[in-house]
Amino acid sequence: MQKREIEELTSAIMTRVRLKMFGMDEVTRLILVAFYTGGHVLLEGNPGLGKTEMVKTLGQVLGLPYGRIQFTPDLMPADITGTYTPDFEQNQLQKLVFQKGPVFTSLLLADEINRATPKTQSAMLEAMAEKQVTVLGKKYPLFIPFMVLATQNPIDHEGTFNLPEAQADRFMFKINVPVPNNSTLRLILNKTAGTLTDSPGKKEADEAKLRVFRDIKTSKAVFERLEMDIQRFGSSPSVETHISNMFLASNHRFDELDGLTREQQNKARDLVEKLMVYGLGPRAATNLMLGAKAWSLMFLPGAESAEGPALARVVMPTLRHRIKLKFDWQEIFFKIEKPTKTDNIDTSVDSTTLEAQMVRMIESFCLATAPDDHEYLRIFKEEFHKSISKA
């Protein structure tokens, strides 16, 4: 597909999603980036912010089958994958046939995934990683495309369990669903009250733009073409160096860092050695690269390769759930963090919440590992702050 075709396609999808979802543009873009790169998404937010409705809307817009699993403490792995039962349809009770579970769909909503026990959560691992499930030793392939969109409530809510690290790493992004502002809330109230209607012909015009998703076959064909285009899309040396530095630094391989000043190297060493429990895995680096490529291809008109602005837009959702920090990291971080004019750390950010503190820490880590190029650093900082303000 040509880049202009891809931009028109994603613009049409965004337009259609906006008919049902208000104030969710940044969330939608990140979900589309993950979908067309074969990734999975973890949506976190308080109840009632539209996480479930977002998944339903995307299923309708993309023209793909979607299913839903409500995770509860008593949910069993077989409730996800399916199981063997007597063949009641053919009245052959001695014969066992496989009854597929809700995982056999294209878009799977794993609702409140952190309300299930770790054992049941782990049952999703094979499906997410291998696009297949194994039941009694027999492998069953899942539909392609297949994407898990898991929702979870903040961990301080009663009756929730932390996701195992291995499963959390399977999610390309962890996206915080924003609380609506005043204007967005008014739109939601008007919509739910039935007083807000589409202008004549608007809905039909938007649906006409999305006829490519009218059936599963064409939607799958578009997915396969766009996924390949993203993989083939180029990336700038600065982005490659930046991603490599983040991976190497987090794994204590400071001697292999490239293109950094002595001050940056010392800052990276302090952040990693004093704050982090363990480093990033190769999947994190891969997701950063694919995310930057997809964002550039889909949402940056005129971009010829993945550049710093695209990486800045995907770095926070990619690292948010992967960086494991020590118990008392906040106190240590604000002792070693000494913003300078060149750092340009956004000190106006509210640092009273855990999420705000995590944003400050990841921003500091990204700047400490970014190539020593003034223009690259300036643009990266600007786009990073934009992504935070829209999240």
Residue of 362, 225, 231 whose CA lies nearest to 294? 231
Contact 260, 249 (CB under 8 A): no
Amino acid at 357: Q
Are the C-beta atoms of residues 172 and 291 closer than 8 Å to each other?
Answer: yes
What pLDDT shows up at residue 270? 94
Domains of the chain with bracketed CATH? 3-229 (3.40.50.300), 235-390 (no CATH)
Q: How far apart are CA 245 and CA 360, in angstroms?
A: 19
ω before 145 within 30° of 0 (cis)?
yes
Is 257:299 a contact under the CB 8 Å cutoff?
Answer: no
Q: Over its length of 391 residues, how does the chain's per-residue pLDDT go in tens digits?
A: 888 999 999 998 998 888 888 989 999 999 999 999 999 999 988 888 888 888 888 988 898 888 899 998 899 988 998 888 877 767 766 678 888 899 999 999 999 888 888 778 777 888 888 899 888 888 999 999 999 999 887 765 556 677 778 788 999 999 998 888 888 888 888 877 765 555 555 555 545 554 457 778 888 998 999 999 999 999 999 999 999 999 999 999 999 999 999 999 999 999 999 999 989 999 999 999 999 999 999 999 988 999 999 999 999 999 999 999 998 898 888 887 765 444 455 544 445 678 888 999 999 999 999 998 888 999 999 999 988 876 5
Q: What is the pLDDT of residue 290?
A: 98
Query: Which amino acid type is present at position 257?
Result: L
Residue 268: its pLDDT value, please? 95
Contact (CB, 8 A) for 301 and 7: yes
Estimate the crossing angle of helix 374-390 against helix 25-35, to 10 degrees. Answer: 110
Reading the block at residue 281, the tokens are 């895995």
Give the Cα separation of 309 and 380 in Å (integer). Answer: 5
DSSP class of 164? P
Beta bridge partners of 98: 84
Distance CA 1, CA 224 (A): 11
For the beta carbon of residue 247, count every other beta carbon within 10 angstroms.
Answer: 20
122's CB contacts (< 8 A; 6+ apart) are 164, 166, 167
Cα dist from 323 to 108, 331, 332, whole Å: 26, 17, 16
Q: What's the CA gap between 76 and 372, in Å, rounded?
A: 51
**Three-state secondary structure call for residue 93:** strand
Task: Give the whole-angstrom CA distance, residue 371 versus residue 12.
Answer: 36
Rounded Cα gap, residues 281 and 250, in angstroms: 9
Dump pLDDT digits (tens) for 252-307. Answer: 999 999 999 999 999 999 999 999 998 999 999 999 999 999 999 999 998 899 99
Apex 292 CA angle, 44 and 126, nearest 5: 55
Token pair 């539209």 in the structure block, residue? 50
**∠ Cα 363 367 373 (to 5°):** 145
Q: Are strands 132-135 and 147-152 parallel, antiparallel or unpaired?
A: unpaired
Instruction: Note the pLDDT of residue 210.
Output: 46
Q: How far apart are the first and last CA of the chain?
A: 30
The rounded distance, in Å, linking the Cα atoms of 10 and 299 is 8
Q: What is the spatial distance between Cα 261 and Cα 225, in angstroms, rounded to a whole number?
A: 41
> HSE-up of 368 (CA within 13 Å, CB side)?
26
Q: What is the 3-state secondary structure (H, E, C) of 6-68?
A: HHHHHHHHHHHHHCCCCCCHHHHHHHHHHHCCCCCEEEECCCCCCHHHHHHHHHHHHCCCEEE
Tokens of 3: 């880049």
Cβ-contact 112, 129 below 8 angstroms: no
